[in-house]
Amino acid sequence: MKAAMARRGTVLAAIVLAVAIPALLTDYYRSLAALAAITAILVLSLNLLTGFVGQISFCQYSFAAFGALTVGSLVGGHNWSFWAALPLGVLFAAAVGLLIGIPALRLSGLFIAILTVGFALFCDRFLFAPGGLDWLSGGTNPWQVGRPSLFGLHLSGQYTFYLFSLAVFLLVAMFVWNLRIGKAGRVLRAIRESEVAASTMGLDVTKWKLAAFSVSAGIAGLAGGLLAAQIGSVSPASYDFLHSVPLVAVVVVMGVAALSSSAAGGIFLLWAPELLRHTGLNVAYFQLILGVLLILQLVFSPQGAIVRMQQDAKKLLGLNRRGKDAELAEVL
């Protein structure tokens, strides 16, 4: 009970700060805050796949591209409503994730990573390149996407769009949290621990792994659609393989077992380069810093920085839980 109350209080305080602090910032920093919230949704998609099933993906930005380009082509090319195009972008990305999940069923570890790298590069060099799927990618002309209205409130303002992005992130986080504590989470954790044991228990491993790939890709597609509206245009270059590498690194650094690492990861990926600019250092050092943090994390805190912080806080507050399953259920 004490742990649950502490968790709820921490989450509520974080939400209050997330709403209040950007209200005091300029529009430029509000736009960064919105991008951080959307990036946190991308991190969540990888949290689900890696934290639940134990499988890594280097093509989350490719899935995001399918969502963004679907929104861009329908809104910018065919004058669709953003609210009609966004669900189709999510479904398209989820369908692509399902197709990628099929060959991944017989792979594990490094081989899945290689498969996703290959798919991401295939998208970059062929599908989204000029002369590929121009009807989807727009060729050499980026799709233009305007900000939509929601219940009569236009989301053109940076703060209003940030609040909208934050609300979507919280809804997706709640969805993933409910998956984690429910039957789906228990089943996927069992598959992660041992597929053979899960099969002998009568679980349909194929169905559950495909579902995890599809849902993860759909969440990434949702982030891509939101990025299209935030930026105002859609260009495949914004979703290439090189964007997925830091995403994977930050998920590992923060910890795949904690949903709160998605928020920390989104903030770190967007605000750390901005802090480097203000210190006068070259932004290129961000990649070096992330690489050093990844090495230190793997050596000193394999579970991830956020998970380690949560465990240390529980020890200080005397909130240790009984058993491994209880600990997993309490992780944010």
pLDDT digits (tens, 9 = 90+) for 181-209: 888 878 887 877 777 777 787 777 788 88
Q: Over the stretch 157-184, which tens digit does the pLDDT of each residue have? A: 999 999 999 999 999 999 999 888 888 8
* Rounded CA separation 6/57 (Å): 33
Q: Is 224 among the domain residues?
A: yes
Which pTM does this prediction carry?
0.89
228 within domain boundaries: yes
What's the confidence (pLDDT) of residue 45? Answer: 93
CA angle 278, 230, 84 (to 5 degrees): 165
Backbone angles phi, psi at 154, to 5 degrees: -80, 135
For residue 186, being part of any structural domain is answered with yes
Q: Provide the β-strand partners of residue 233.
A: 144
The CATH number covering residue 230 comes to: 1.10.3470
As a dihedral over the C-alpha atoms of residue 243, residue 244, residue 245, residue 247, rounded to 10 degrees, the angle is: 100
Structure tokens at 202: 């009568």
Residue with tokens 């209205």: 149
**Per-residue pLDDT at 74 exceeds 80:** yes
- Domain annotation covers residue 143: yes
155 Ramachandran zone, left/alpha/beta (phi>0; psi -120 to 50)? alpha
Per-residue model confidence (pLDDT) at position 327: 42
How many CA atoms lie within 13 Å of 25's alpha carbon, on the beta-carbon side?
18
pLDDT in tens, 12-35: 898 999 999 999 999 999 999 999
Q: What is the DSSP letter of 144?
A: E
pLDDT tens sequence across 235-275: 888 899 989 999 999 988 888 877 888 899 999 999 999 99
Within a domain: residue 201?
yes
Q: What are phi and psi of 143, to 5 degrees?
A: -70, 140
In the chain, the amino acid numbered 137 is S
Q: Which residue has the tokens 């990305």?
A: 93
Q: Is residue 19 in a domain?
A: no
Asked whether the beta carbons of 238 and 8 are under 8 A apart, the reply is: no
Number of C-beta neighbours around residue 117 at 10 A: 17
> Across all residues in the chain, what is the average pLDDT?
86
What is the model's pLDDT at position 329? 41
The token duo for 18 is: 């997330």
What is the separation of C-alpha 203 from the centre of its chain, rounded to a whole number of angstroms? 27
Residue 6 CB neighbours (<10 A): 15
* 20 within a domain of the structure (yes/no): no
* Confidence at 43, pLDDT banded by 50, 70, 90: very high
How distant, in Å, are the alpha carbons of 102, 241, 272 from that of 117? 16, 7, 25
Helix axes 305-317, 2-23, angle to 10 degrees: 130
Please state whether 157 falls in left (phi above 0), alpha (psi between -120 and 50) or beta.
beta
Q: Is residue 173 part of a domain?
A: yes
Average pLDDT over residues 144-154: 88
What average pLDDT score do residues 276-302 get? 86
Provide the pLDDT confidence category of residue 318 given band limits of 50, 70 and 90. low
- Domain containing 224 equals 2-14+29-330
Into how many domains does the chain fold?
1
3-state secondary structure 270-282: HHHHHHHHHHCCC
